[in-house]
Amino acid sequence: MKNNLSILKEYWGHKAFRPMQESIINAVIEKNDVLALLPTGGGKSICFQVPAMMMEGICIVISPLIALMKDQIENLSKKGIPALAIYSGMSFLEVKKTLQNAAFGNYKFLYISPERLETSLFQEFLPTINPCLIAIDEAHCISQWGYDFRPSYLKIATLREEIPDVPIIALTASATLIVQNDICDKLLFKKQQKKFQQSFSRPNLSYSVFEPESKQNKLPGILKQINGSAIVYCKSRRLTQQIANLLNQHNINADYYHAGLSNIERAKKQENWINNKIQTIVCTNAFGMGIDKPDVRLVVHYNIPETLENYYQEAGRAGRDGQKSYAVLLYDKNETEELFELNNLRFPSYDTIKKIYLSLMNHLKIPAGIGEGQLLDFDMATFAQYFKFNILEATYGLQSLCQEGLIYMSDKSFKNSTVNFIVNKHVLLEFEKAHPELETIINALLRNYEGIFDFPVSIHESLLAKIISTPIQKIKEQLSALHNYQIIEYLKQSDKPQILLLKNRMYSDDFRFDYRSLENRKKQHFDRISAMIDYVKNSSKCRSVMIGNYFNDKEIKACNFCDNCINSKQHTISEKEFDSIAQKIMSDVKVQSIDSKKVEIIYKDFNPSSLWKVIHFLQAEEKIKCDNNGFFYFEDYA
């Protein structure tokens, strides 16, 4: 059997593991239950993918994010590692075929959404799948004390009971101590469990908070100081477009991104940004998950995030390559008050939740006593308008129903297009003779999709386009033509949000909802908001230390690089010391660029805090700049 390092080199092309990865992998190989807290970009997937490659059997990966599943499967396939996925939107026959492949094919990974674990079909195939490892991504979702609780994650415990000897690795980027303990408890971790927590210190990432008179004036100035890719997070879809337009007016190459765009639009914008055709992407928090772009130099939050968990994860998308990068948060005092008001809106009253539930069932035309397993297209705006709900009230009410385990709601459908021949083979043959221009597409469907005469099968227009070397638009036109001729039934891929009913509709008099649990979550969320506001308003404590302490990192040291650290040292810098450092840096940088990672070594005779204070001043005055590789240079050499 190959060792972990040889597997890492062969499939991932890395010569060495990142800090703590190898220890985690060894703990998994020894069949310990493992909780791994690794920061965003810390290489969590390696920690279960490498040991799975060393074990006999298939690794079951539980993830709540369908897009992330698809990205990981695509990345594994590029490495020659076969992987499968089961998620909402797949038909019964598609799920069955995937489980058959997992049980009898040569696959190493089966990605599955948590709500699929308790289905009778999955339970039927589980004994034949031969799992070697259970990996749980976004493990904080299992805890009701976490910031993103999902009741479907509680079903993972039944998986542990079915296969008690299979080790579990739970992974998350951020979890407080109470959430960490709850994860281990809910997953029924054994006594020989191991916990690994990387330091929350990001020595190359400078945190800053500003309360400007005008965000619209401040933001372009910040972006112009930093060379390289940037992300600007906004609280609403409308604001992303407004800010992107503002930045373009300031000659900053920007585009906007949010979940309301079509799959094609989002993919194109994301690709343009990753390939540096767009410098700045202005987005909601729908952007970022699963995106591996190490050279992001700046992340700006145009509004205060609700929690430090969200902020740490989103800000942490800057500087994954280890080069100097910046996380900037802009706010005004009204926002802090709005966060507390939002807390009341986020957790609706019992009567409001009941009203939204009954309205939803009526909107979807679901009779009482049935509905479980139905997957239906859903438009939030239409629903809210028809039943006269505030859009936020409707959103949070539906989220409460999700957390209660009554429904599952997705922003976008991932249901593929389907085709089913609705004529017999004799009629089809006669049709081909009369329409030879459609013979190629017909034969491609028959050769590549088994059972297409018997039931609707999922197809991929892009794959058909490659098989017969035809533009994808023409493929869609030909399929539509066959549909209009009533040769096939062609249902195009839906781009609408969807709702999956997890339970039958309750009668109005029998409506049941655990409101006490909701009230507990409301209190926890209030505490998280308070911690976020304390972070924003605290002007003395190191921001890295505040974040680390929040996540139970007691060993974290002051960064000497955030705005608070720099400001706290300001009074110790005399005019003479300031001039001495500035003259030396300006003299050197006019000769050659200076590596930011070696600044403290090069200028070891100067106080580090004073040194960085002067560097930030010189940057702010645009006397020196920093390139994408983290080198300070004199502007004349740009």
Question: Rounded to a whole number, what is the distance in angstroms from the first to the last CA of the chain?
Answer: 52
Instruction: Tell me if the pTM is above 0.75.
Output: no
Secondary structure of residue 434 in the 3-state scheme: helix
Q: 385 is written with which tokens?
A: 């308008």
Q: How far apart are CA 576 and CA 283, in angstroms?
A: 44
- Count other Cβ atoms within 10 Å, centred on residue 240: 27
pLDDT in tens, 362-378: 999 999 999 998 888 88
Q: Which of 193, 125, 137 is nearest to 163 (CA)?
A: 125
Q: Is residue 414's pLDDT more than 60?
A: no
pLDDT-derived band at 411, boundaries 50, 70, 90: low
- 31 is written with which tokens? 């069949």
Among the listed ranges 63-72, 232-241, 429-438, which one has the minimum average pLDDT value?
A: 63-72
Band of residue 254 on the pLDDT scale cut at 50, 70, 90: very high
The residue among 620, 609, 629, 43 whose CA lies nearest residue 316 is 43
pLDDT of residue 568: 77
Distance of CA 545 to the CA centre of its chain: 25
Average pLDDT for the chain: 88
Question: What pLDDT sits at residue 389?
Answer: 93
Percent of the chain residues topping a pLDDT of 70? 96
Structural domains for the chain: 4-197 (3.40.50.300), 205-331+542-555 (3.40.50.300), 340-407+498-525 (1.10.10), 417-491 (1.10.10), 569-637 (1.10.10)
Q: Tell me the pLDDT band of 121, cut-offs 50, 70 and 90.
A: confident
* Residues 406, 358 contacting (CB under 8 angstroms): no
Closest to 219 (Cα-Cα) out of 334, 335, 330, 332: 330
- The yes-or-no verdict on residue 251 having pLDDT over 50 is yes
Q: Name the pLDDT band for 1 (thresholds 50, 70, 90).
A: low
Q: Which helix (H) or strand (E) holds 550?
A: helix 543-550
- Residue 595: Cβ-neighbour burial (10 angstroms; 0-12, 13-18, 19+): middle
> Is residue 41 scored above 70 in pLDDT?
no
pLDDT in tens, 131-156: 999 999 989 989 877 777 777 788 88
Note the pLDDT of residue 239: 95
Q: Average pLDDT, stretch 493-503?
A: 79
For residues 344 and 516, what is the distance between their CA atoms, to the nearest angstrom? 15
pLDDT of residue 413: 47
Q: Which pLDDT does position 570 carry in this prediction?
A: 61
Question: CA-to-CA distance for 241 and 52, rounded, in angstroms?
Answer: 43
Q: What is the mean pLDDT of residues 407-436?
A: 82
φ, ψ dihedrals at 255, nearest 5°: -145, 165
pLDDT at 637 over 50: no
Spatial separation of the C-alpha atoms in residues 541 and 531, rounded to whole Å: 13
Show the tokens assigned to 26. Answer: 């060894």
Q: What is the pLDDT of residue 553?
A: 87
Instruction: Choose between 119 and 218: higher pLDDT.
Output: 218
- Please report the pLDDT score of residue 599 as a whole number: 86
Query: Is residue 631 very low, low, confident or very high in pLDDT (cuts 50, 70, 90)?
Result: confident
Q: What is the pLDDT of residues 264-316, one digit of tens each?
A: 888 899 899 999 999 999 999 878 766 778 899 999 999 999 999 989 989 99
The amino acid at 127: P
Does the pLDDT at position 638 exceed 50?
A: no
